[in-house]
Structure 1
Amino acid sequence: MDTKIRLLAVTDIRGTIAIAEDDRIEWGSPEDKRLFKEITTESGVVVMGRKTYETIGRKLPGRYNVVLSSKGHFSCEAPDLVLSGSINDVVKILFERGFTDICVIGGQSIFSQFLKSGMVTDLHLTVEPMVLPDGLNLFSNIDKQFSLHLEKAHILNSKGSIYIHYRIEKVESKI
């Protein structure tokens, strides 16, 4: 059985994923939003942190919404599943529930934890043609080198939004 753990993000050209923790990403292109919906709906499950979930403000329809949090209450509709613990434990629980294609959709801490776990198979990035004010980068505190293989890249619109799909080939210990 082919299992996938994919990270999906939209960034500016510097790798900024959000201006602030509650950024609703209104600066992302409609084409990126359509691609995000297509990939995550095909997968069937989205994993995110509590802040990302509360910023979205609701469950994403047609997908099993999993939130990683030590808190059990939300300022909006409750997700399908709330988990806490290690990334390995989270993935094991989801695999036991029959999910073999997991889309990780944010935020920075969750992206970083999943990448550091060494279990991520694919990165799906849309780079929007802009420079945002200082904010949150895609990853933080990464202490390994990840080699990537380009699977697909194409221009999404006339403004120059670029979709890039990388497969993670190997992880090197400290740089």
Structure 2
Amino acid sequence: MDTKIRLLAVTDIRGTIAISDDDRIEWGSPEDKRLFKEITTQSGVVVMGRKTYEAIGRKLPGRYNVVLSSKAHFRCEAPDLVLNGSVNNVVKILFERGFTDMCVIGGQAVFSQFLKSGMVTDLHLTIEPIILPDGLNLFSNIDKQFLLRLEKTHILNSKGSIYIHYRIEKVGSKI
């Protein structure tokens, strides 16, 4: 399978991605939101967990919205596709539907599952110049080492929001 799987996230300087499960990330910069829209629209597919989808509150237009959940009902409009299963099965199903580029956009459990699978090819991170109260970190329970190669950095605004693109070079052994 020749598939590009990108992880996209905005964090504070400590790697916090959300203050709570239903955080709408209103602390992220407009520049990050524009970059997020550009990358995910180019990909055409966004993959997320149910809590992330419900925090967004709607389908993201111009993208195929995939939600990983064991629930079939949502507090907002239904996504394009609801899947429940392993990351390998999710990627296989999307590949069989003709998708070879997908963006994983949250939350923590979904980010961690995809990273642990060893299938993620790229990390796109925006680091906002803010320190949030304790919340959810980007990853949890990672027990392997991931070697990254810097592809691109860009300062997004005068406040100091920084975009970083890494390619995953190698997944190491368990620590």
CA distance in 1 between counterparts of 2:3 and 2:89 reads: 16
Match of 2:99 in 1: 99
Question: How does the TM-score come out when normalised to structure 1?
Answer: 0.99
CA–CA distance in structure 1, aligned partners of residues 139 and 170 of structure 2: 17
Shift of 1:3: 2.3
> Secondary structure of the equivalent of 2:174?
coil
Once the two structures are superposed, the pairs formed by residues 2-81 of structure 1 within 5 Å of their partners are 2-81=2-81
Q: Given the alignment of the two structures, is residue 171 of structure 1 paired with residue 171 of structure 2, yes or no? A: yes
Mapped partners of 1:151, 1:84: distance in 2: 32
Q: Distance in 1 between matches of 2:2 and 2:160?
A: 33
Number of residue-to-residue matches in the alignment? 175
SS at match of 1:39: helix
Distance in 1 between residues matched to 2:42 and 2:3, nearest whole Å = 13
Structure 2 counterpart of 1:168, which letter? I
What's the counterpart of residue 118 of structure 2?
118
Equivalent position SS for 1:47? strand
Q: Distance in 1 between matches of 2:76 and 2:133?
A: 28
Whichever residue aligns with residue 166 of structure 1, its letter is Y
Corresponding residue number in structure 1 for 2:85: 85
Aligned-pair Cα RMSD in Å: 0.8
SS in structure 2 of the partner of residue 51 of structure 1: helix
Aligned AA for 1:82?
V
Residue of structure 1 in register with 2:158 after alignment? 158
Residue-by-residue CA offset, 1:11-50 (whole Å, 9 max, x unaligned): 0000000000000000000000000000000000000000
Supply the distance in 1 between the matched residues of 2:3 and 2:23 (Cα, whole angstroms): 31
| Distance in structure 1 (CA, Å) of the matches to 2:98 and 2:171 | 27
Matched residue type, 2:58: R
CA–CA distance in structure 1, aligned partners of residues 124 and 30 of structure 2: 16
- Report the Cα offset of residue 2 of structure 1: 4.8
Q: Which amino acid aligns with 1:133?
A: P
Output the amino acid matched with 1:103. C
TM value normalised by structure 2: 0.99
Structure 1 stretches of 4+ with a deviation exceeding 2 A read none
Gaps in structure 1 of 5+ consecutive residues: none
Distance 2:20 2:71 in 1: 21
- Structure 2 gap ranges (5+): none
